[in-house]
Each structure stands twice: as C-alpha cells, then as structure tokens.
Structure 1
Amino acid sequence: MSKTYAVTLVLFIVLTVAGGSVIGYFSIPGPWYAALEKPSFNPPNWVFGPVWTVLYILIGIAGARVWFKDRHGTLPRLWFLQIALNYAWPLVFFAARRPDLALPVLVAMWLSILAFIAIAWRRDRPSALLFVPYAVWVSFAGLLNGAIWWLNPA
C-alpha cells in the first residue's frame, strides 16, 4: 500500500466516522423520540452507536477505494451523494422531528447505496461488498422509520 493511498484511506475513515459522530451529536434522540410509539422490532438504543461506527468504517474504506481509483467518476459521486443523504437523515428525523419527511430522504439514500453497489460490482467488487451490510441496515432503518411514522401520525 502506497503512502498516498494509506493517507487517503485514513482520511476517509476518520472523516466519515467523525462526520457521523458530529451529526449524531446534533441529532440526539432525546425525550421526543423516547415518547414515540415504536414497533416491536425496534432495537434498544445502545445498538445504534456500535452498528453505525462499524458501518461508517466500512463506508470510509469503500470511499477511499473508489476515490483513489477514479476521483472524478460515477462511484465517488454516488459515494458523496449517499453520505450527504446519510448525514441529512438524522437531522430531519431527530432534530426536525419529522419522520414523515425523513422517509423520502432515507429512500433516496437507500437508492444511492444500491446504485453504488450495482456499479461497483463490476468496477470494484470489494467496495460493493463493503456496502452490502450498509444496504441491509438502511433497509431495516427504512422499516423502522416507516413504522414509527405510521404509529405516530402527526
């Protein structure tokens, strides 16, 4: 591994995890979320931090890979689109307290993740595989978001 690639990898991982942490700080669920009716399959709150930390590391690795291979290509653009949507979702859901508006953000994020996987599958299979757990978790998050919206009409 070259020094340039190592620096790129570390930067992508650190910035992805740090970005998620900052967004998490500004969108702490708090009493509003605690008071919502939740579906029976809602995991305990302590699960979300470790899951997102692992996912952000995988997302960062994939980002570095596609950036290093072709920084002006489709995959880096999709990577930045999905991370922007990823960071927007908790702000809409928790900070703005709008599960109804958060659901379309999550669907757009999910579609950008699936597009990333589909394109990366041919161009950089390891990056595609790094995004599979992310796609699964965001699918589950979509079910949670939809169920919370359904159970708590405005």
Structure 2
Amino acid sequence: MKQLKLTLLFLVITFGGLAIGSWLMANGPLSVWYINLKKAPWTPPGFVFGLAWSIIMICFSIYLGKLFLKANTQKNKLIFLLQFILNVSWNFIVFNQHLILLGLINITLLTSLLFYYYFKVSHKVEKYKYLLLPYMIWLCIATSLNLYILVYN
C-alpha cells in the first residue's frame, strides 16, 4: 500500500512538473521563433513529445516509488529535487528565453543525473532500474536535438 501511495505521489509531482514546464515555455514549439529554427532531420513530430513524456513519467514515478520505499534518504530527495528543477527549467530556458547554449548545459546536466541514478543509486532497487531507460534514451535524443539547433542556427 505504501508503494502505491509513493508512486501516486510521484505521478502527481512529475506530471505537475510537466504542466509547469509546459506553462513556462509560453507558446513553445508553436512559436514563430521555434518554427523558424533549423531542426535536426531526426526531430520527431510534435505529438511524439507528449506521448514520450507521459510514458517516461509513468515509468519514472514507478521507479521513484520503489526507490523511496527502500531508500528514503535526504540524498535521494536532493537528487530528485535537482532532477525536477533541471527538467522543468529547460522549457523556460529554451522556449521562453531562447538560450540554446544554456539549455544544452541544462539538459546535459539532467542527462548526467539520470545516468547517475541508473549506475549509482539504482542498486537499491536493481530490478527496477530499467524503468529509467525510456527517460535516459529520450534525454539523449533531446540533447542531440538541442545541440543541433545550437550548431546550425
């Protein structure tokens, strides 16, 4: 029962973060600025982003529920908070402020943090660490998209 409560809590927090991030990016991918950027040929269609983030946050919330059931430490709380801030702030940095280099630094830190979760934190919930893979893969793709925009615009 505690596992379910933790997972539901993280679902609320992570989807809340997506909502805040969406709000912070103003017009985001529909803005004239973004539409006129040269984007990578592998940029997925717009609907993929919402679908991907939904799957990612469901998997991540299940993982976090398991992790915090086993290791509800101050360190894990701080790592999660940093992940949350980096994830939400990227939208504001890139879509609202158009700071592509800062966005690349931000998403690189976020990606590094997810790899840290996978390799250094997940031993506490070893069989659930694979729930991080969608997030890690998506961040690698997103980082490459961010880098492409920085280089070619």
Percent identity between the aligned chains? Answer: 23
Per-residue CA deviations over 1:67-100 (Å, capped at 9, x if unaligned) read 2222215444323222221111111111111111
Q: Which runs of 5+ in 2 are unaligned?
A: none
1:24 and 1:56 map into 2 onto residues whose CA distance is: 14
Q: Which runs of 5+ in 1 are unaligned?
A: none
TM-score after normalising by structure 1: 0.89
> What is the correspondence of 1:26-41 to structure 2 with a 5 Å cutoff?
26-27=24-25, 28-29=27-28, 30-41=31-42
Residue aligning to 2:151: 150
1:73 and 1:123 map into 2 onto residues whose CA distance is: 15
2:7 and 2:122 map into 1 onto residues whose CA distance is: 20
1:73 and 1:116 map into 2 onto residues whose CA distance is: 15
> What is the correspondence of 1:58-137 to structure 2 with a 5 Å cutoff?
58-72=59-73, 74-137=75-138
2:6 equivalent among 5, 8, 18:
8
Residue aligning to 2:23: 25
Q: Which amino acid aligns with 2:52?
A: V
Q: Which amino acid aligns with 1:88?
A: S
**Greater RCO, 1 or 2 (C-alpha within 8 Å, sep 6+):** 2
1:127 to partner: Cα distance: 3.6
1:24 and 1:111 map into 2 onto residues whose CA distance is: 22
1:123 to partner: Cα distance: 1.7
Q: 1:50 to 1:84 in 2, by over 3 A?
A: same
TM-score after normalising by structure 2: 0.89
Residue aligning to 2:46: 45
2:144 and 2:95 map into 1 onto residues whose CA distance is: 16
Root mean square deviation of aligned Cα: 1.6
